[in-house]
Amino acid sequence: MISLISGLATGMGGVLAAVAGKAGVRVIPALLGLSSGIGFTVVFFDLLPQSFKSGSWQTALGGMLAGLAFGKAARMAFPHLSVSGPGGPGVFISGRRGCNVLRTGYLFALGVAMHNLPEGLSIGAGLETGKDIGLLLAAAIGFHNIPEGMALCGILAMGGVRPIQAMAIPAGAGLMLPLGTMLAGLWMEAIPGTLSFILALGAGTLLYIIMMELIPESLRMQPTLARAGIAAGALLSLIMSAGFQLAI
């Protein structure tokens, strides 16, 4: 349920793009920065420490490297949307605007869906540590999925897709996120004793996404808002984590 809500944030981004248009673009750097700040804190204060505590340093290091490789492979294999181009959401890194924008839009929808799979795995790893960590990760990824959905909706609209369909496709792409979370849980059930590796794998995957996508995109759009978002995200994550600990 937690990862489903986070995945539906992609659909929320599509709705925001359709309703707010260019006005919604202004909040994207802050959202990406907020996501980065929360994610960074969870990776270095929760996932990695718990991974080293649950197993050997060799297992944790191996999982971390595997996560980084997984994130890189997903980025290389599937199209990557850029939300920082001069036209805002809908401008992409690979490819040019052309007559077949609709086909490109569907291709990017596939890319967004496949990027959501490793993100869901990160949430699954967090949930194995505790519900509080899972919630923090879901929040971080949810904030990142909103501008992703806005970008996807933008390019589909450029291709002539009807508004309802342009909003529905990002929501469908977001459903890959709970699938990734479910796969992480099934892995833990099928191969007990791999918690350390799973946690480090989730940490490595999330770290790659933050370092190679979220932070560069946000800084490229509006550095001041991005830095403020990163700081606010880190602070929010620490406050929420402390609150969860007090509630236990």
Cα–Cα distance list, 97 to 17, 91, 160, 218 (Å): 19, 8, 13, 23
> Residue 229: is its pLDDT beyond 80?
yes
> Strand, helix or coil at 96?
coil
| Predicted local confidence at residue 59, as pLDDT | 92
Confidence of residue 115 (pLDDT cuts 50, 70, 90): confident
Q: What pLDDT score does 106 carry?
A: 76
Mean pLDDT, residues 241-247: 61
Quick one: pLDDT at residue 121? 80
Question: pLDDT tens digits for 174-198?
Answer: 888 888 888 888 887 777 778 888 8
- Residue 9 pLDDT: 79
Residues 6 or more apart in contact with residue 37 via CB below 8 angstroms: 229, 230, 231, 232, 233, 234, 235, 236, 237
Q: What is the end-to-end Cα distance of the chain in Å, rounded?
A: 21
CA pair distance 60, 63, nearest whole angstrom: 5
Q: Is 162 left (phi over 0), alpha (psi -120 to 50) or beta?
A: beta
Which band of pLDDT confidence, cut at 50, 70 and 90, is reported for residue 63? very high
The pLDDT value recorded for residue 76 is 77
Task: Give the residue-averaged pLDDT of 143-149.
Answer: 76
Note the pLDDT of residue 22: 60
pLDDT value, residue 10:
76
Domain ranges of the chain: 2-243
Q: What is the pLDDT of residues 68-106, one digit of tens each?
A: 998 888 777 765 555 544 444 444 434 444 445 676 667
The per-residue pLDDT for range 13-38, each reduced to its tens digit, is 777 766 766 655 677 788 888 888 88
Cα distance between residue 137 and residue 152, in whole Å:
22
Average pLDDT value for residue range 142-159:
75
Q: What is residue 26's predicted lDDT score, i.e. its pLDDT? A: 72
| Residue appearing with tokens 């490229």 | 220
Residue 92's beta-bridge partner residues?
81
Q: How deeply is 191 buried, as exposed, middle or buried, from its count of CB atoms within 10 A (0-12, 13-18, 19+)?
A: exposed
What is the structure's pLDDT at 95?
41
Q: Which residue has the tokens 């800084």?
A: 219
**Mean pLDDT in the chain?**
77
Give the pLDDT of residue 43. Answer: 87
- What is the torsional sign of CA 61, 66, 67, 72? positive
pLDDT of residue 224: 93
Q: Which pair of structure tokens corresponds to residue 34?
A: 């907020």
Distances (CA, A) of 108 to 86, 112, 113, 211: 18, 6, 8, 21
